[in-house]
Structure 1
């Protein structure tokens, strides 16, 4: 698996890594059951922070593109090809855009939307 990180790319390194792993799965360069480099090895190879690679692996695992088998390592998920088309981040973005448009149509200001979003993310119900 050939992965490269472009520091001039506006996409963060973890997102570049996710995109490249998904592309490799979709093209057949990575096949179901195939082992992936360890987080430590990939971070070393790409000169990235361990946490950056770990975040990418966590999100790929959440999306069932890869699976981690404890100390045996990470592998391409058996349903990875089908799961590569699922983009929860994009789905969240689209849903938020729809909600923001609805709130603006009701006359809620952007400042009020930001405050409500921050309260919601922080688990606070007070104004």
Structure 2
């Protein structure tokens, strides 16, 4: 698999990496259980900050495209091909659009919706830190 990062692109570097790894899985260039380079190695190979690669790996792991097996390393998830087709940002946006549409239909103003959204996010974040 060849990864090419375009520092001139408007797409964030971590997003480019996520997209290219997903495309490699879909094209059969990365197979289930195949080992991936360590964060440090890939960052060095691509002249990127370790945190950029770590963020990409974290998102790919969240999406079920890769899995970390402790000290053994990072590998392509057994269900990576199926999981590549899930567009989580689009799913989240669609659910938020539905919620905003329902709130407006109930008579809520945009300001009330924003305040409620902020409160929900704050409550959820506080619940995660406990």
TM exceeding 0.5: yes
SS in 2 for 1:67: strand
* 2:91 aligned partner: 91
* 2:13 aligned partner: 13
Say yes or no: does 1:101 pair with 2:101.
yes
* 2:37 aligned partner: 37
Which runs of 5 or more structure 1 residues have no equivalent in the other structure? Answer: none
Q: State the alpha-carbon separation in 1 of the partners of residues 115 and 47 from structure 2.
A: 38
Using structure 2 for the length normalisation, give the TM-score: 0.85
Q: State the alpha-carbon separation in 1 of the partners of residues 112 and 9 from structure 2.
A: 33
* 1:72 aligned partner: 72
Q: State the alpha-carbon separation in 2 of the partners of residues 7 and 108 from structure 1.
A: 42
Q: State the alpha-carbon separation in 2 of the partners of residues 5 and 105 from structure 1.
A: 44
Which runs of 5 or more structure 2 residues have no equivalent in the other structure? Answer: 125-130
Q: State the alpha-carbon separation in 2 of the partners of residues 9 and 88 from structure 1.
A: 22
* CA apart distance, 1:29: 0.8
Q: State the alpha-carbon separation in 1 of the partners of residues 119 and 80 from structure 2.
A: 36
* CA apart distance, 1:104: 2.4
Q: Deviations over 1:68-119 (max 9, x none)?
A: 1111111111111111112222211111111112222333222222211111
* 2:128 aligned partner: none
Q: Supply the RMSD in Å over aligned alpha carbons.
A: 1.6
Distance 1:106 1:6, change over 3 A: farther
Distance 1:91 1:39, change over 3 A: same
> Number of paired residues?
124
* 1:60 aligned partner: 60
